Structure 1
Amino acid sequence: MSIDSRLSPLDETRMAPEQRRVLDAILSGPRGNLDGPFLAWIHSPELADHAQRLGAFCRYGTRLDTRLTELAILFTAAWWQSQAEWQIHAPIAREAGVTEAVIEALQEGRDPPFELDNEALVYRLGKTLYTTRRVDEALYAEAVAAFGEPAVVELVGVFGYYALVAMTLNVFEVRRGTGPLPFAEP
């Protein structure tokens, strides 16, 4: 699928050795492509190198079920109205088991009709964190009881990492494909 952005195009014949090294690491890793924010980050290979390793952990290595990770990513994409982040992760979330009703509600900015308590908890944690920039004691205790302290730390990392992804994609107007955008542009 084609990726467009406002960045200057990459010219593989003019890449610095550090860019080439990071590009090779991204292409040989679990993603296998230069999709999403990596199109921007490769312009700063040091940032790309650190971010791609953190991103691989946040997406593939946490203690959370993939369904919950993808829910947190979609919530973040909807919060930031990040076109490419949504375009990339909505199909992955569906495949991981997030229901169409939840995906649709997130895209429309509504509270989703959750059937599973752990999904509702991820949503409440993300919404509280993004809205108030804090999490109160009761919600924190509920999250730790449900997921365990290490997984809550990792979940906050997922929210933070994908906020960075969303900001990158928004600033550099990264778009995936030619179809309609999931969110109205401001």
Structure 2
Amino acid sequence: MSIQSRLNPLTEATMDDAQRAVIQDILAGPRGNLDGPFLAWVHSPELANHAQRLGAFCRYGTRLELRLTELAILFTAAWWQSQAEWQIHEPIARSAGVSDGVIAALQQQVEPPFSREDERLVYRLGKTLYETRRVDDALYAQAVEAFGEPAVVELVGVFGYYALVAMTLNVFAVRRDTDVPLPFAER
């Protein structure tokens, strides 16, 4: 699968040792690929190193079910209209159990027809956080009751990390599956 971006491509001849080392770490980790923002971040190996470790935790290490993590990621991708983030995570979310109706509504940026309350709560938390930059006491208490305080901390981390991913992909015009129509209209 080809990935395109506006960045200058790195080659074996143009990379330094720090870039080679962080690429090796990423490839040896749970992802096993340089998909998404990593080809941008590797231009700054220190950023890449820290971000890839945080990302591995946010994607694979939280207390949340994968279905809920992927829902938060898709919500973020839709919020930022991040083409590659959506393209990468939509099939993962589907296989993790996020329904077709929820996925379609997120892509259209309308409230999904949730049948699961935990998904509705993740959506409400993300929407409130992104719209108001805060979460009120009542919604916070609901989230803590449903998921536990450590998982709410981790969920906020997922929203924050994937916002960074979306911004990176958008600024550097990273595109995946360039022969497939984009999930969001370009402005």
Normalising by structure 2, what TM-score? 0.99
Distance 1:125 1:59 in 2: 18
Q: Deviations over 1:26-55 (max 9, x none)?
A: 001011111100010000000000000000
Which residue of structure 2 lines up, in the alignment, with residue 6 of structure 1?
6
Question: For 1:99 and 1:12, how far apart are their aligned partners in 2?
Answer: 42
Q: What is the Cα-based RMSD across aligned positions, in Å?
A: 0.5
Bigger shift: residues 164-173 or 10-19: 10-19
Deviates more, 1:34-43 or 1:11-20: 11-20
Farther-moved stretch of structure 1 (31-40 vs 8-17): 8-17
Q: In 1, distance between residues paired with 2:3 and 2:145?
A: 41
* Whole-angstrom CA distance in 2 between matches of 1:102 and 1:13: 45
TM-score w.r.t. the length of structure 1 is 0.99
| Superposed displacement of residue 12, structure 1 | 1.8
Aligned ranges 1:61-140 → 2 under 5 Å:
61-140=61-140
Whole-angstrom CA distance in 2 between matches of 1:172 and 1:94: 27
One-letter identity of the residue aligned with 1:184: A
Deviation at 1:99, TM superposition (A): 0.2
State the distance in 1 between where 2:39 and 2:104 align. 27
Q: Give the Cα separation in 1 of the matches to 2:171 and 2:183.
A: 17
Between Structure 1 and Structure 2, how many residues are aligned?
Answer: 186
Structure 2 match to 1:147: 147
The Cα of 1:14 is off from its aligned counterpart by 2.4
What is the rounded CA distance, in whole Å, between the counterparts of 2:83 and 2:14 in structure 1?
A: 29
Instruction: Show the counterpart of 2:181.
Output: 180
Deviating above 2 A after TM superposition, structure 1's stretches of 4 or more consecutive aligned residues are none
Letter in 1 for 2:85: E
Q: Measure how far apart 1:15 and its partner are.
A: 1.2
* Partner residue in 2 for 1:18: 18
